[in-house]
A and B are shown apart, each in its own frame.
Chain A
């Protein structure tokens, strides 16, 4: 490995084979860090029966699937200790310098942050989602997050709004040294957006016929995605603009509402329901339309909006969460989460598109220049280097910060911290490092490409023999 290259472990409950925004983020970031010369491994929970043990993904990304059962939506139960034996072995075997935990609901990531100081390993955490402060679930998970983030070296958020949210949820501020009554923000909270692979979202090469305008909606059909707004405005738009059609992709609990409204207003030929869509088919659906509608009620980044804008669609979106930050004002029409305002914004978008004021190819080029995974990897690398250069947090500070959590949570978390230390000492005695099997062989890109070429040559030879 070259100088300054790091060995990084990405830790999250959410990784392939399950599919989603966090999973894709981890994979793309890892792949680009590998291209920049770092060594990256991923630690996640197993997906029995077939995703267990250690796997390799191209390009040379090693994935450890830890045998933990999941409780709900692919998340494991937070128990703080059982991960340590696996974690210790992996970190020591792989000579890891830095761990990068993802997603605030991933208890695997939070445990990784708790254990890593035993190995001198530095910690970075990326938060992908927004949470409120009022319901019981939020209050509980926010406390767990605050506890985990007390001792993290750096935090990355995917949007400015997300950063404000994470700072409040994770209590990323400390009393100032000059004046203890004033809180100051930690200096190690970064905003680095997501990105997309622009080549996967190219606009349709031939221009669409302009007489009908298709409005595309691709979303999980759930309350949080604002499907009620879609259900309310779709018939009004169909009545006001006879040349407009809706194409709706996705599945979910609100599908029935959509089916009902379609039936009640006799719009079977105007509202097309495609059902669930695989991510690789998204572009094929997107290029059928010229306007993309997103009525979500909360959104931390809105990658679906970016994908649509990149495919050359004009976007209508509700002004929620981080959505106002991701595109310049001339590529998107904003609406308040209000039926009349959504109607107004869609009408405005229909006028813009029907007058030919929106050029899909130009839009694609612009989005391509805005977001790039390589740039994201570079910006993340800056965070890693800053963290590696900074002084580690000593044990006294850790205990003091944990005690700051609150009269009961502070004591609980400090106890966990101390018991974790004892457990670590037990493991050191029981499974000494000298007996461990260190990773010697690394992925060699030259050998792999040689083998790949050989295989393809052999296969071509076989084919020739058959024909």
Chain B
């Protein structure tokens, strides 16, 4: 005599005990890693370029600050570099906009007006900023600016923008920019004269406010461009740090290698532990015709 086969129903009493576990059908609806596409190494490494570029900018800024503070770099040179960078960046922006236009609110006259406004405002504020933290000890300033740069690096928007799409700026990237600007302001307040303060802050605006926007636009263009920008920024920062201290330069090299080459490898390796469990108990996603 064969007993009727077990069915997955509750409304019928079956000739099996309640603790019976059907050998075949139990957990048959379980799916592991259903929509899983594994990462590969090189695309991840190229995505990490954005982080390296950002770190490069931070280190370059720090070297410029140290040089200005030690008076081994003329503030006027920094000023002219900033102005040149702005011109070059704006030119690149115009070229990119010509190739594939992103409709934004900025017209040329507006850009000119606002950049002039920032320029003059910073110039006017420089004496105020120079004495801003006169009553605070330098140790507190170093600690504060280190924390702020850390926050800036953690929160920065490293996502890649698809060409043609217009994404809303996220809160974290705004916070990140603010952290970097605050950090530059408190560092600038340690500098000896008004012109250094002015040129450092102008330089910070280029690196932390304008460069991320341009970096975003660079994204979808080509990997070669991406690699070129990354290599040039990181090499520049390395050369500048080398002139200050070799040991610091070694640390910076270590950071770049870890971020750009080791971290993607660790992520690729860690994927073998990925175990996503899906089953009929998951909250279903309703499919609607209007979206």
- Subset of 8 A-B contacts with CB under 8 Å: A164-B280, A191-B10, A228-B286, A295-B286, A297-B283, A320-B284, A326-B9, A327-B11
B12, A370: Cβ atoms closer than 8 Å = yes
Candidates B12, B21, B283, B288; contact of A339 at CB < 8 Å: B288
Contacts of A327 in B (CB 8 A): 11
Contacts of B27 in A (CB 8 A): 164, 167-168
Interface string of A367-396 (1 = CB under 8 A from B): 000110001000100110000000000000
User: Complex Cα distance A325/B280, Å?
Assistant: 12
Is B70's beta carbon under 8 Å from chain A?
no
Contacts of B284 in A (CB 8 A): 226, 297-298, 318, 320, 337
B286, A338: Cβ atoms closer than 8 Å = yes
Question: Which residues of B from 1 to 22 have beta carbons under 8 Å from A?
Answer: 8-13, 17-19, 21
Is B134's beta carbon under 8 Å from chain A?
no
Distance between A21 CB and nearest chain B CB, rounded to angstroms: 15
Chain B residues packing against A (C-beta within 8 Å): 8-13, 17-19, 21, 26-27, 29-30, 276-277, 279-290
Contacts of B283 in A (CB 8 A): 132, 224, 297-298
Q: A133-B277, A168-B277 are in contact. Are A337 and B285 (CB under 8 A)?
A: yes
Contacts of B26 in A (CB 8 A): 164, 185
Is A434's beta carbon under 8 Å from chain B?
no
Q: A164-B29, A327-B11 are in contact. Are A132 and B282 (CB under 8 A)?
A: yes
Q: For the side of the interface on A, what is the size category?
A: 35 or more
B289, A298: Cβ atoms closer than 8 Å = no
Contacts of B12 in A (CB 8 A): 328, 370
User: Complex Cα distance A221/B250, Å?
Assistant: 60
B21, A325: Cβ atoms closer than 8 Å = no
User: Complex Cα distance A192/B200, Å?
Assistant: 72
Given A320-B284, A328-B12, A382-B17; 9 other pairs, CB 8 A cutoff: A164-B26, A167-B27, A228-B286, A232-B290, A298-B284, A337-B285, A337-B286, A337-B287, A338-B286
Interface string of A291-306 (1 = CB under 8 A from B): 0000101101000000
A379, B10: Cβ atoms closer than 8 Å = no
Q: Which of A29-37, A154-162, A240-248, A270-278 contacts B (4 or more CB under 8 A)?
A: A154-162
User: Complex Cα distance A259/B155, Å?
Assistant: 40
SS of A interface (majority): mixed
Is A165's beta carbon under 8 Å from chain B?
yes
Contacts of B18 in A (CB 8 A): 156, 190-192, 379, 382-383
Interface centre among B30, B281, B290 (most CB of A within 10 A): B281
SS of B interface (majority): loop
Contacts of A339 in B (CB 8 A): 286-289
Contacts of A383 in B (CB 8 A): 18
Across chains A and B, the number of contacting residue pairs, with CB separation under 8 Å, is 101
Residue in chain B with minimal CB distance to A129:
B281
Is A284's beta carbon under 8 Å from chain B?
no
Interface string of A163-198 (1 = CB under 8 A from B): 011011000000000000000010111111100000
Distance between B60 CB and nearest chain A CB, rounded to angstroms: 38
Distance between A254 CB and nearest chain B CB, rounded to angstroms: 12
B281, A132: Cβ atoms closer than 8 Å = yes
Distance between B27 CB and nearest chain A CB, rounded to angstroms: 5
B8, A160: Cβ atoms closer than 8 Å = yes
Is A340's beta carbon under 8 Å from chain B?
yes
Contacts of A371 in B (CB 8 A): 11
Distance between B198 CB and nearest chain A CB, rounded to angstroms: 46
Is A152's beta carbon under 8 Å from chain B?
no
B279, A165: Cβ atoms closer than 8 Å = yes
Distance between A407 CB and nearest chain B CB, rounded to angstroms: 14
A325, B8: Cβ atoms closer than 8 Å = yes
Distance between B22 CB and nearest chain A CB, rounded to angstroms: 9
A162, B281: Cβ atoms closer than 8 Å = yes
Distance between A446 CB and nearest chain B CB, rounded to angstroms: 34
Q: A191-B10, A298-B281, A371-B11 are in contact. Are A229 and B288 (CB under 8 A)?
A: yes
A188, B9: Cβ atoms closer than 8 Å = no
Is A321's beta carbon under 8 Å from chain B?
yes
B9, A325: Cβ atoms closer than 8 Å = yes
Q: A228-B286, A339-B286 are in contact. Are A193 and B280 (CB under 8 A)?
A: no
Interface centre among B11, B29, B288 (most CB of A within 10 A): B11
Residue in chain B with minimal CB distance to A184:
B21
Residue in chain A with minimal CB distance to B18:
A190
Is A130's beta carbon under 8 Å from chain B?
yes
Contacts of B17 in A (CB 8 A): 382
Candidates B19, B281, B285; contact of A187 at CB < 8 Å: B19
A326, B10: Cβ atoms closer than 8 Å = yes
User: Complex Cα distance A322/B30, Å?
Assistant: 14
User: Complex Cα distance A191/B20, Å?
Assistant: 9
Residue in chain B with minimal CB distance to A370:
B11
Contacts of A167 in B (CB 8 A): 27
Candidates B19, B280, B288; contact of A232 at CB < 8 Å: B288
Residue in chain B with minimal CB distance to A295:
B286
User: Complex Cα distance A156/B10, Å?
Assistant: 14
Contacts of A263 in B (CB 8 A): none
Is A134's beta carbon under 8 Å from chain B?
yes
Distance between B23 CB and nearest chain A CB, rounded to angstroms: 10
Distance between A14 CB and nearest chain B CB, rounded to angstroms: 20
Distance between B96 CB and nearest chain A CB, rounded to angstroms: 39
Is A87's beta carbon under 8 Å from chain B?
no
A321, B281: Cβ atoms closer than 8 Å = yes
Residue in chain A with minimal CB distance to B7:
A325
Is A68's beta carbon under 8 Å from chain B?
no
Residue in chain A with minimal CB distance to B277:
A133
A229, B286: Cβ atoms closer than 8 Å = yes
Distance between B234 CB and nearest chain A CB, rounded to angstroms: 35
Residue in chain B with minimal CB distance to A382:
B18
Distance between A226 CB and nearest chain B CB, rounded to angstroms: 6
Contacts of A83 in B (CB 8 A): none
Distance between B178 CB and nearest chain A CB, rounded to angstroms: 27
Is A81's beta carbon under 8 Å from chain B?
no
Distance between A371 CB and nearest chain B CB, rounded to angstroms: 7
Q: A165-B281, A189-B19, A192-B18 are in contact. Are A338 and B10 (CB under 8 A)?
A: no
Distance between A31 CB and nearest chain B CB, rounded to angstroms: 21
Is A423's beta carbon under 8 Å from chain B?
no
User: Complex Cα distance A464/B238, Å?
Assistant: 104
Q: A232-B290, A327-B11, A339-B286 are in contact. Are A188 and B279 (CB under 8 A)?
A: no
Candidates B8, B19, B281, B285; contact of A188 at CB < 8 Å: B19
User: Complex Cα distance A373/B163, Å?
Assistant: 63
Is A413's beta carbon under 8 Å from chain B?
no
Contacts of A424 in B (CB 8 A): none
Interface string of A203-239 (1 = CB under 8 A from B): 0000000000000000000001010110010000000
